[in-house]
Amino acid sequence: MNLRQIEVFRATMLTGSTADAARLLHVSQPGISRMIGHIELQLVREMVRLLSIGEADVGFSSLPIDHPPLVTEAIGSWSLSCVFQKGHRFEQESAVSLREIVKEPLIAFSPDTPQGRMVAQAYPRAIDPGRQRIEVRSGQVACALAAAGAGVAVVDSLTARAWPHDRLAFRPVRKAPSTQVFMVRNPHFPASALEQALVERVRQGFRALRRGPAEGKTRSDV
């Protein structure tokens, strides 16, 4: 990460949202979202190398990593939510079917992303690749575009919950599959107290999500 990326990441962590980070740094929110997407992509490739040589202590991944000597452990799971601009008709629903989602202008993930693969595998015939749509690689970018009224998007439930809800709303996708989140580390290096505390906080966060109120009853229609 270069100094600008570190500055953007720090501002986002301090403020809790890309919108507030943009205000803090006096730049546009889409610019912050794009930078976060670039950071994710640059890291989502460096993780294995840094963990293998001991330059990073622990990583978190939506996919299991089979790369000796690294070990992975499932610590939680996420599912899919539909995000859209406040005031959209979906806001009246407790959950949204993919059949309804694909009728809307769609902000879709690239097929080689975890979210894109998940949607393609779960609903192989639901999305027409020839249909006009916006393609993204980052959940933050998808939420920013949806909040601006560019369309609706299917993102992971964690990103949907973390986004400021003054302009964006979300509902769970009916009958959506879930995927696990993995902790990745190198067992050849002892875990520090800070690493152990971070991992436990992440575990607690996932447990809190499971204890939270139900996101709506599912129905049989897809």
Query: Would you state the pLDDT for residue 129?
Result: 54
Residue 219 lies in a domain: no
Q: Note whether 145 and 192 are same-domain residues.
A: no
Question: What φ, ψ does residue 135 adopt, rounded to 5°?
Answer: -110, 135
In this structure, the answer to whether residues 97 and 164 fall within a common structural domain is yes
| 140 found inside a domain | yes
Give me the tens of pLDDT residue by residue for the chain, a chain 222 residues long. Answer: 678 888 888 887 777 667 778 888 998 888 887 888 777 766 676 788 889 888 899 998 877 888 889 999 999 988 889 999 999 999 999 999 988 998 899 898 877 676 677 677 766 666 565 555 788 877 888 898 899 999 999 988 888 888 877 889 999 999 888 888 999 999 999 999 999 999 999 998 888 766 544 443 333 344
Q: Tell whether 16 and 67 lie within a shared domain.
A: no
What is the distance between the terminal CA atoms of the chain, rounded to a whole angstrom? 41
On whether both 131 and 205 belong to a single domain, the answer is no
Let me know whether 61 and 39 are in one domain.
no
CATH of residue 155's domain is 3.40.190.10
For 156, the enclosing helix (H) or strand (E) is: strand 152-156
Q: What is the pLDDT of residue 66?
A: 85
Q: Does the residue 218 lie in any domain?
A: no
Looking at the fold, whether 62 and 25 belong to one and the same domain comes out as: no
Cβ burial of 220 (10 Å; 0-12, 13-18, 19+) is: exposed
Looking at residue 214, its pLDDT comes to 42
For residue 37, what are the domain limits?
1-43
Residue 36's nearest CA partner among 142, 118, 115 is 142
Whole-prediction pTM: 0.61
Q: Are residues 96 and 113 in the same domain?
A: yes
Indicate whether 132 and 157 sit together in one domain: yes
User: Which residues share a beta bridge with 83?
Assistant: 153, 170
Are residues 27 and 65 both part of a single domain?
no
Within a domain: 51: no
Indicate whether 198 belongs to any domain.
yes
If asked whether residues 130 and 88 sit together in one domain, one would say yes
pLDDT at 213: 40
117 and 201 co-located in one domain: no
Q: What is the pLDDT of residue 43?
A: 66
Characterize the bridge pairing of strands 179-185 and 58-61.
antiparallel
Question: Residue 77 belongs to what H/E stretch?
Answer: strand 71-78
Q: Is the dihedral of CA 205, 210, 215, 221 positive or negative?
A: positive
Question: Domain check: are 128 and 202 in the same one?
Answer: no
Calpha distance 84→194 (Å, rounded): 37
Is 217 part of a structural domain of the chain?
A: no
Inside any domain, residue 98: yes
8 A C-beta contact, residue 202 and residue 103: no
Closest by alpha carbon to 168, among 148, 140, 150, 154?
A: 148
CA separation (Å) from 187 to 72, 192, 198? Answer: 10, 12, 17
Tokens read off for 184: 């990745």
In a domain, 220, yes or no: no
The domain tally of the chain equals 3
